[in-house]
Amino acid sequence: MDLTTPTKLAALRQAMQQDGIAACLVPSADPHLSEYLPAHWQAREWLSGFTGSAGTLVVTTKHAGLWTDGRYFAQAAKELAGSGIELMKQRVAHAPEHIDWLLDNLGEGQVLAVAGDSFPLSAARQLERRLERIGARLRTDLDLPALIWPDRPALPHAAIVEHPARYATQPRSDKFGRLRTAMRKLGATHHLLSSLDDIAWLTNLRGSDVECNPVFLAHLLVQAEGHATLFVDRGKLSDALVQALAADQVRIADYATVTDALSELGAQDRLLLDGNRVVVAVASAIPETTATIEAANPSTLFKARKTEAELEHIRDAMRRDGAALVRAFRRLEERVTAGMTQTELDVDALVREARSAQPNFVGESFSTIAGYMANGALPHYRATPEAHSTLRAQGLLLIDSGGQYLGGTTDITRVLALGETTAEQRRDATLVMKGLIALSRARFPKGASGPQLDALARAPLWASGMDYGHGTGHGVGYFLNVHEGPHGIRPPASGATLVPLDPGMITSIEPGLYKAGRHGIRHENLAVVIEADKTEFGEFYAFETLTLCPFDRRALEPGLLNPEERAWLDDYHATVRAALAPLLEDADLAWLERHCAPI
């Protein structure tokens, strides 16, 4: 049945009326609070028609609003047109966030409903307190969208596999040992994990339940003294894998029985959990007599600090990935120059084909963004068969793509000059490059966090009265999620936790600039935090750039780069040439040599 958005909203409002609900909150979330969701939990997208990865829908009896951030304003405006849902812009001056809007529009005795399997425990507590102040209350025991979703997709059933020991580098018994040591220090007898990347890393297992993210649906309950229980669909595991897990004291239980296990905890137990990473529906099963310790999952920090063995595999993956992109970019350049019809969809296909030929390639780490000219100004643009642009031998093409390899996860953005460019385009691309270079060259003291460094990448743009509306860097997993916490490089936010950048942490460095209707610029490398110096003032860290692929210097205005910036760019290209040349030959090698020549 093909239901329109207004029809779905009418059905939702009818369900709300039957249960006495004044407002329904529909977040972009699942029981694991993942960034990217299996189709089964994409209720917000199904209801609203907005396909962006970040957004929150609020529906009352008379109003429906979709809150999203600046990456998606243009996309949301287009997809919500005629739906009866108003675009509500997040993080915009004088515009209310969705919780503030709700508090202004709910009153005494009214009820707000949100599905408890898609809402964090900590957020529910905060919301309950704020609602109490106005005499309203929260219900998390109703999944109203599910009641009206006739063809809701089933849960995924993809197989779970072992991450080969060569690439996992650490036995899961060692990882569980580190975790249990951390649990004992916190006084915990049990630890509940629902975050999928934590579970995949701890167990050395990988899956494909979430598009582009090699994770699987599961919860994990770990005893400080004893075994661990993995709550997962048993049909996804081979008998041999079940036996291997049992040998490491990991038992298997049905995915849906995690609440049963939690309800059996006693007054003598102390459960460690992260209230930001566990949903209300799961946490509600914990007996009131069981003490809880709320703290970040220790494994989150463990997996963020990559080991030297992991980094060696990542460096090899970067070489393979860079060689693949050289082949793809060379073929694209030749086709456009020769006048062949090429579209943004062809870019996606070329990049995927080149990566697929690389050893240990598993899949994409996210859907490729190929935005030509004005489309590049949409940070999360995605070409479709119904809406895409044809490339011409002029202007700029932004390509943001990444791969999943057994030995690492890649994420890279390059801006290609397909022909003649304007002075404005070259200036903008160079200002963004100056920001990337400034942050890449940074030295910072031990204990410094990403928000303290963010301004380094923005300063060249600020000097010209320009800025960009997204963070400058995100953590990256090891054959795991392309977006990984706990660290990040973004503007400071009131009340946000400052996570120090520690050696072994990988971050993207990706400043940008977007001019609606004209062009978009984003240069992106991945870098790892390394030890740099010890002085009388303490320890200092730096970044080692991991990504290996030329920048298109034809998109730049070299005269705007100072001598230190030119030297950095020349040194980077010399490193790229040395690393990739052994993997290339003939026309691909010639393309590399040409694009890695000194400025």
pLDDT tens digit at each of 599 positions of the chain:
578 999 999 999 999 999 999 999 999 999 999 999 999 999 999 999 999 889 999 999 999 999 998 888 888 998 999 999 999 999 888 889 999 999 999 999 999 999 999 999 999 999 999 999 999 999 999 999 999 999 999 999 999 999 999 999 999 999 999 999 999 999 999 999 999 999 999 999 999 999 999 999 999 999 999 999 999 999 999 999 999 999 999 999 999 999 999 999 999 999 999 999 999 999 999 999 999 999 999 999 999 999 999 999 999 999 999 999 999 999 999 999 999 999 999 999 999 999 999 999 999 999 999 999 999 998 888 888 988 999 999 999 999 999 999 999 999 999 999 999 999 999 999 999 999 999 999 999 999 999 999 999 999 999 999 999 899 999 999 999 999 999 999 999 888 889 999 999 999 999 999 999 999 999 999 999 999 999 999 999 999 999 999 999 999 999 999 999 999 999 999 999 999 999 999 999 999 999 999 99
d(CA 542, CA 555): 28
Q: What is the Cα–Cα distance from 453 to 125, expressed in whole angstroms?
A: 32
The CATH number of 161-298, from 3.40.350.10, 3.40.50.300, 3.40.50.12160, 3.55.10.10, is: 3.40.350.10
Domains 5-147 and 161-298 share a fold: yes
> Tokens at residue 409, please?
């996860």
How far apart, in whole angstroms, are the C-alpha atoms of residue 183 and residue 226?
A: 13
Residue 547's nearest CA partner among 416, 382, 436, 398 is 436
User: Looking at the DSSP assignment, which residues form a beta bridge with residue 414?
Assistant: 399
Cβ neighbours for 368, distance < 8 A, ≥ 6 positions apart = 347, 348, 351, 352, 399, 400, 401
Per this entry, what is the length of the chain?
A: 599
CA 73 – CA 520 distance, rounded (Å)? 15
Domain 308-593 in CATH: superfamily?
Answer: Creatinase/methionine aminopeptidase superfamily (3.90.230.10)
Spatial distance between the Cα atoms of 556 and 569, rounded to a whole number of angstroms = 11
Provide the CATH topology of domain 5-147. Creatine Amidinohydrolase; Chain A, domain 1 (3.40.350)
Residue type, 270: R
Q: Which residues, listed in sequence order, are joined to residue 220 by a DSSP beta bridge?
A: 193, 230
Domain ranges of the chain: 5-147, 161-298, 308-593
